[in-house]
Amino acid sequence: MTQTVTGPVRRRPVRIVAIAALILLLGGFLWWHLDRDSAAQPKGGPPGMSPVVSVTTVTARLGVAPVTLSGIGTVTPLKTVTVKSRVDGELTSVRFKEGQLVKEGELLAQIDPRAFQAQLDQYQGQLAKDTALLDNARADLTRYDNLVKKDMLAGQTRDTQASLVRQYEGAVRSDKAQIDNARLQIEYSRITAPISGRVGLRQLDPGNIVKTADSTGLCVITQVSPISVLFTLPEDQLPEVLKRLRSGGKLPVSAYDRSMVRKLADGVLATTDNQIDTATGTVKLRANFDNTDEALFPNQFVNAVLLLEERKGVVLLPASSILRGSTGAHVFVLAKDNTVSSRPVVAGMAVGTDVVVESGVASGETVVVEGADRLRDGSTVAVKNSGVSAADKS
């Protein structure tokens, strides 16, 4: 009798094929994963060896480190004058332009001088009259002296005449003083620049009546060259500054903009204030600048950098090469076999983007400047490119 094959018996080969395919798939994945791990291991090295790290190095060199003191300052003119009239009168002309550079004694404006000229003429006429009276009185006094000597005139009359001469002499002196004053008023009607500098905005126009009591004045002249910078330093830094000033040395001062990026001008320290501000614990200092290019503008805020001295022959390294941890500052020094070792250092003052290394690294040694965060003692490195030494940058 013929037997019929059921459905489950037919599907059994299909399940076997599917299981075999799944096993092959898992085997291929495991082989690919193991092959990738083996490729990531360093070739030619023993198991457990650290990989080679690419780094950038820099050579420690000897350089110059300027010792500086910094303070916030204000550009302050050495001279600022509000030009006012010394006489009352009508302003007839203005001879300057706003913002113009003027020299001392240059004519700025003119006040109507006719009233003063009329006074001068009047006083000169009075002087002529009093001079004539004086000459006549002196002649009479001479005659009276002769008559007294001959006993032909009483001495009292002669004394009266001498007194009259002295009165006329006083009148003549008064007339001359009035004439000098009138001439001075005429001179004051010509308003001239009291200092050399730059003229500000004009305060009065021609046609206005100018009075000596006016508070605004005609204009303001500010000396722009030379000019000074007033800046402050902490009182603790004052002794070193005074020591160098009293020794006769000139201390250079540089003025920088607010961001301390662009240098505006170079000058010299002139003096210090005679007292310390008890409220802030600072002292004011004044530095003078030629300012021929007018890079410094009156009342401008600047950063003043005072150079105390220059330390020569110090070891300089980029600040990025110095790492700081729980044990302090250290660097990775490169050996001849391309391995690095961690070495503690004493970092000193900053010189721009560099740092003075007081101890720990000698000139000529090679230090890792980039890639140090992936290193440890004894790591093998590959130097991809050499950095620029601090001394070379300067």
Domains of the chain, first to last: 53-65+312-393 (2.40.420.20), 69-78+222-311 (2.40.30.170), 81-105+197-219 (no CATH), 113-188 (1.10.287)
Give me the pLDDT at residue 50, please.
59
Which tokens hold the place of 112? 């109507």
pLDDT of residue 35: 54
Q: How many CB atoms lie within 10 A of CB 305?
A: 20
Q: Tell me, what's the pLDDT at 352?
A: 75
pLDDT for the residue numbered 103: 96
Residue 277, CA distances (Å) to 236, 300, 365 in order = 13, 22, 48
The CA distance from 189 to 209, in Å, is 12
What is the predicted pLDDT for the residue at 40? 44
Nearest residue to 61 (alpha-carbon basis) of 386, 369, 393: 393
State the 10-residue block means of pLDDT for the chain, 394 residues long. 46 65 70 52 49 86 88 96 95 95 96 96 96 94 88 86 94 96 96 96 93 92 96 94 89 94 95 94 96 95 93 88 86 89 87 86 90 84 68 45
- Determine the residue type at 61: R
Tokens of 129: 């009259």
Helix (H) or strand (E) holding 19: helix 7-40
Q: For position 267, what pLDDT does the model report?
A: 96
- DSSP, collapsed to helix, strand or coil, labels residue 311 as strand
